[in-house]
Each structure stands twice: as C-alpha cells, then as structure tokens.
C-alpha cells in the first residue's frame, strides 16, 4: 500500500491519508466493509481495487494501511490481527534455520517468548544484548545475524536505543533492523527515517488508543520485504477483521492530540514521583537525569506516556500499592485514554521470569492516561501512602 505523497503534516495525514470520502455515496468516514468476498464481473475480472477475498485484502483494512504507511513515512503497511501476529510475520519472513538474531535485554515479554519458545524450535538462535550500547551490539553480531530487534523506549524500563547507530551496525553485516515502535508511536519518532528497515506495531496500544481493539501492523519501504510479508499473511491468514481495522483507523485520527496529553501527564507524574519518599527510582526518559534523556531528546519529539518506578519498600509493597489505586486500573496493556497500573514481574513480564530479561521485583509500570493529571497524582499518592481501595 503506497503512502500518501501529499507532504501534509502529521495531524492532517492521520485524518485524511487513505480516508477519502466514499466515491459512491459520499460517506465521509471509510465504511466497515463487513464482507468476506467480492463479486467478479467475469471469471478473474475483479472490480475497482481488485478485491477478491478478505483474507487477501479488504477496503477498510486498505484504508488503515494507507494511513499507517503515511504516518510512519513508509511505502508499505500491512495490518495484522495482533502485534504478535505482526512480529511473527516479520520473524518468519526474515529468518531461516541457522540464522541468528539480536534482541534487546528489555524486550516485550511476548516477543521474547515467541523467539525463545517457537523460533528456536525451527533452528533459529538469538543473543540478548543491551541495545543502549551500540559497541556491545557490534561485538555480539555474528556472520549468521540477519535481524536486530529493537524497542525504544523499552518495556518496562523505558531504556532508549540509538536507532540510527543500530541501523548502521545491522547494515554493516547485511542484517536488517526492526524497530517495535509501539511505545513511541509515529507521532514521537519515525524509525524508517533513522535507517530502520522494518517498523512493527501493536496497534492495540496508542494507535487504537481506547483499549477496545487488538491489532498489529508492519511498515517498510522495501518492496521485497512487503511482498514476502504479504505472501505470508495471505498464506497464514493473521488478518484483522473489518470492524477492528475501522476502530483502529478511528483511533488514529486523534493520535497526535492524545499523545500530547499523554506526554504532558506522564512528565508531570514522573517528576512528582521523583519527590515521593516511597519511590526509590523513576524510569522516564523525559527526566533530565534519566540515562536515556539526551538520546531521547535527540531522537523523539517528546518522551511518551509510559512511566515505571520502583517501590522503596520492596516487592510486597509494590504489589499492594498497585492494587490500591482507584483511577489507575490494575490491568495489563497500555496506551489507552484511561490510566493503567501493573506489576511487570507478575503480570506483563511473567514470561521472562528467571531469564536475562527479568525485571526488578519492586517495579511498578504506569500507562499514564489523558485524565486530569491532578486526579491521577492524588490517586498514586493515596495508594503509595497506604490509602485506597
Ligand atoms: C503489546 C505489545 C506487543 C504485542 O502486541 P499484541 O497486540 O498484544 O499482540 C508487542 N510489543 C510491544 C512493545 C507491546 O507493548
């Protein structure tokens, strides 16, 4: 799906790219094409758009893909049934038995599980490296290395990797750089412009933005990568339904304004937490003394809506605190308009327990929503001080 070459700004592309009024009826909003198949005029002769069958392509999904491509500044976007389906397609098209990949030591737990438990069974090997140190990454590269898999900011420790430096390391050995851009979103950074070959998203998070849909996407400039992904997706079938594509497209329209407010609120909460006696460390790249701050300031428009912190009184206190908030809902996932709180060690990152990716036991992760930030801070303070639910 070729992106919008309009040269329009981000907010305009989010609302218009791939989203022309319906030529037949004038419907301003892209319809939900809830159909599995399409009439052909003669055998093999399809109508406008070339639609045949909705596993292969669906007009609502096409609109979403055009919008995603335009926002990431890539020539091709493919929507998938989930972020993991998108990641799986990237891994299975890029890697063959004997190949090797490098993965950050703070990767999304589900990505680690897919690589560690599924891909290795097919003869693919991996190494875990701190991606914030390009020299360590260069030292870990092998002749068989075909992919470097990067997240920035990382989940849940909000580490920052230098995307253009990693792209250089990958390209020196003929490998490809994949960036999971779920935390930053294309509003805050566009990895393809920094040299990444492939961008992966869980659209379940900020792109959908309302915690009402699961989805994923891959964006790339390469015709060859897009063709192989398209072939695999059509063969294996991990496509989103029309309604899910429509919900995601609806979410995308407000991405820019939501991200601004997520960033405002997260900056406010992160700063306030640094001053709280029950908080031993705050992880947020927007804090001036955060180890990733300088790089994040260079690479990102702002610092995002995710904040993690360690509880000064240890794991039990972290677990109790996470169960005491009233506005912050205790739940997995992130990136919706409502604030969420979770304990990575027992929840989102339980699948990496005991591995090199294990997270501090006293860590609490916040997805800071777009509510009134004073209410959010009061809720966290009450929970830290032993009041609440
Ligand atoms: C949630 C998430 C995924 C997985 O996406 P799903 O839509 O849940 O399959 C991958 N990467 C990151 C960074 C995520 O937060």
127: domain CATH number is: 3.40.640.10
pLDDT at 192 over 80: yes
Residues labelled catalytic: 55, 108, 180, 205
Q: Do 209 and 265 lie in a common domain?
A: no
Beta bridge pairs of residue 199: 179, 219
pLDDT per residue as tens digits for the range 55-82: 999 999 999 999 999 999 999 999 999 9
> The CATH number of the domain where 332 resides is what?
3.90.1150.10
DSSP assigned state of 31? P
CA of 54 to the centre of ligand 1 (A): 24
Q: By the 8 A CB rule, do 6 and 244 touch?
A: no
Q: 205 CB less than 6 Å from ligand 1?
A: yes
Q: Do 204 and 264 lie in a common domain?
A: no
> Which has the higher per-residue pLDDT, 162 or 44?
162
Q: What is the mean pLDDT of residues 269-279?
A: 98
Nearest by Cα to 162 from 52, 31, 295? 295
| Three-state secondary-structure class, residue 10 | helix
Lowest mean pLDDT among 4-13, 65-74, 297-306, 376-385: 4-13
Ligand 1 atom having least distance to the Cα of 203? 7
- Quick check: is 265 in a domain? yes
CA of 199 to the centre of ligand 1 (A): 13
Dist CA 77 CA 61 (whole Å): 10
Name the residue with the closest Cα to ligand 1, atom 2.
202
- Quick check: is 181 in a domain? yes
Q: Do 48 and 164 lie in a common domain?
A: yes
- Quick check: is 147 in a domain? yes
| Three-state secondary-structure class, residue 42 | strand
Dist CA 254 CA 256 (whole Å): 6
What confidence score (pLDDT) does residue 358 get? 80
- Quick check: is 389 in a domain? no
Dist CA 50 CA 45 (whole Å): 8
In terms of residue numbers, what domain contains 305?
Answer: 255-384
Q: 214 CB less than 6 Å from ligand 1?
A: yes
Proportion of the chain above pLDDT 90, given as a percent: 90
Would you give the distance in Å from CA 325 to the centre of its chain? 26
What confidence score (pLDDT) does residue 150 get? 97
pLDDT at 216 over 90: yes
Q: 82 CB less than 6 Å from ligand 1?
A: yes
Q: 203 CB less than 6 Å from ligand 1?
A: no
What confidence score (pLDDT) does residue 355 get? 78
pLDDT per residue as tens digits for the range 219-244: 999 999 999 999 999 999 999 999 99
Residue at token pair 């981000």: 10
Number of structural domains the chain divides into: 2
- Quick check: is 200 in a domain? yes
What confidence score (pLDDT) does residue 388 get? 67
Q: Which of 224, 253, 282 is the last residue of a domain?
A: 253
- Quick check: is 350 in a domain? yes
pLDDT at 48 over 80: yes
Q: Do 259 and 355 lie in a common domain?
A: yes
| Three-state secondary-structure class, residue 380 | helix
Q: Do 110 and 242 lie in a common domain?
A: yes
Q: Which of 229, 253, 277 is the last residue of a domain?
A: 253
CA of 353 to the centre of ligand 1 (A): 18
| Sequence-ordered list of residues with C-beta below 8 angstroms from that of 289, at least 6 positions apart, any chain | none
What confidence score (pLDDT) does residue 4 get? 56
Q: By the 8 A CB rule, do 225 and 95 touch?
A: no
What confidence score (pLDDT) does residue 254 get? 98
Query: Which residue out of 80, 90, 110 has the highest number of ligand 1 atoms within 8 Å of its CB and is therefore the one to mutate?
Result: 110
Q: By the 8 A CB rule, do 200 and 90 touch?
A: yes
pLDDT at 1 over 50: no
Query: Which residue out of 108, 178, 305, 335 has the highest number of ligand 1 atoms within 8 Å of its CB and is therefore the one to mutate?
Result: 108
Dist CA 373 CA 370 (whole Å): 8
Other beta carbons within 10 angstroms of residue 100's beta carbon come to 18
Q: Do 240 and 265 lie in a common domain?
A: no
CA of 387 to the centre of ligand 1 (A): 32
Q: Do 334 and 272 lie in a common domain?
A: yes
Q: Do 223 and 329 lie in a common domain?
A: no
Q: What share of the chain is helix, strand, coil (3-state, %, to 5)?
A: 40, 15, 45
Q: Do 194 and 318 lie in a common domain?
A: no
Q: Do 18 and 47 lie in a common domain?
A: yes
Q: By the 8 A CB rule, do 327 and 339 touch?
A: yes
pLDDT at 387 over 80: no
What confidence score (pLDDT) does residue 389 get? 63
pLDDT-derived band at 109 (thresholds 50, 70, 90) equals confident
- Quick check: is 29 in a domain? yes
Other beta carbons within 10 angstroms of residue 318's beta carbon come to 24
pLDDT-derived band at 106 (thresholds 50, 70, 90) equals confident
Could you list the beta-strand ranges (E) of the chain.
Answer: 76-80, 100-104, 125-129, 145-151, 176-180, 198-202, 216-220, 279-283, 306-311, 329-330, 340-342, 363-367
Ligand 1 atom having least distance to the Cα of 215? 7
Other beta carbons within 10 angstroms of residue 177's beta carbon come to 26
What's the mean pLDDT when you consider all of the chain?
95
Q: Do 213 and 298 lie in a common domain?
A: no
State both tokens at 211. Answer: 């915690």
Query: Which residue out of 131, 180, 202, 347 has the highest number of ligand 1 atoms within 8 Å of its CB and is therefore the one to mutate?
Result: 202
- Quick check: is 93 in a domain? yes
Helix axes 223-236, 83-94, angle to 10 degrees: 120
Q: By the 8 A CB rule, do 86 and 80 touch?
A: yes
pLDDT at 353 over 80: no
Q: Do 279 and 312 lie in a common domain?
A: yes
pLDDT at 2 over 70: no
Helix axes 315-322, 373-384, angle to 10 degrees: 130
Name the residue with the closest Cα to ligand 1, atom 1.
202
Q: Which of 253, 274, 308 is the last residue of a domain?
A: 253
State both tokens at 364. Answer: 């609490």
What confidence score (pLDDT) does residue 367 get? 98
Q: 83 CB less than 6 Å from ligand 1?
A: yes
Asked whether the bond before 277 is cis by omega within 30 degrees of 0, the reply is: no
Beta bridge pairs of residue 60: none
């Amino acid at each position: 799906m070729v992106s919008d070459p309009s040269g329009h700004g981000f907010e305009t592309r989010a609302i218009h790219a791939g989203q022309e009024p319906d030529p037949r009826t004038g419907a301003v909003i892209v319809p939900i094409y809830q159909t599995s198949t399409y009439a052909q005029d003669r055998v093999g002769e399809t109508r406008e758009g070339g639609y045949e069958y909705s596993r292969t392509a669906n007009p609502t999904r096409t609109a979403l893909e055009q919008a995603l491509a335009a926002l990431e500044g890539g020539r091709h976007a493919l929507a998938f049934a989930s972020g993991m389906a998108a990641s799986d397609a990237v891994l299975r098209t890029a890697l063959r038995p004997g190949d090797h990949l490098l993965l950050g030591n703070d990767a999304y737990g589900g990505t680690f599980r897919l690589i560690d438990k599924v891909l290795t069974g097919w003869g693919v090997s991996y190494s875990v490296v701190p991606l914030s140190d390009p020299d360590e990454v260069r030292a870990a590269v092998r002749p068989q290395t075909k992919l470097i898999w990067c997240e920035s900011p990382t989940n849940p420790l909000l580490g920052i990797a230098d995307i253009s430096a990693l792209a250089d390391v990958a390209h020196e050995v003929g490998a490809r750089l994949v960036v999971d851009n779920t935390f930053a979103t294309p509003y805050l950074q566009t990895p393809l412009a920094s040299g990444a070959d492939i961008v992966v998203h869980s659209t379940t998070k900020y792109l959908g933005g309302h915690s009402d849909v699961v989805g994923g996407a891959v964006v790339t400039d390469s015709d060859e990568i897009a063709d192989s992904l398209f072939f695999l997706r059509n063969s294996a079938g991990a496509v989103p339904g029309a309604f899910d594509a429509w919900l995601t497209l609806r979410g995308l329209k407000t991405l820019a304004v939501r991200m601004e407010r997520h960033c405002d609120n997260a900056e406010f909460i992160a700063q306030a937490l640094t001053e709280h006696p029950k908080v031993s460390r705050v992880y947020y790249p927007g804090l001036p003394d955060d180890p990733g701050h300088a790089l994040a300031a260079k690479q990102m428009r702002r610092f995002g809506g995710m904040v993690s912190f360690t509880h000064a009184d240890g794991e039990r206190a972290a677990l109790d605190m996470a169960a005491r908030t009233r506005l912050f809902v205790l739940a997995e996932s992130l990136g919706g308009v409502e604030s969420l709180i979770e304990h990575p060690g027992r929840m989102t990152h339980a699948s990496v327990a005991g591995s090199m990716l294990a997270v501090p036991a006293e860590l609490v992760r916040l997805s800071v929503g777009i509510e009134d930030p004073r209410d959010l801070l009061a809720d966290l303070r009450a929970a830290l001080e032993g009041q609440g639910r």
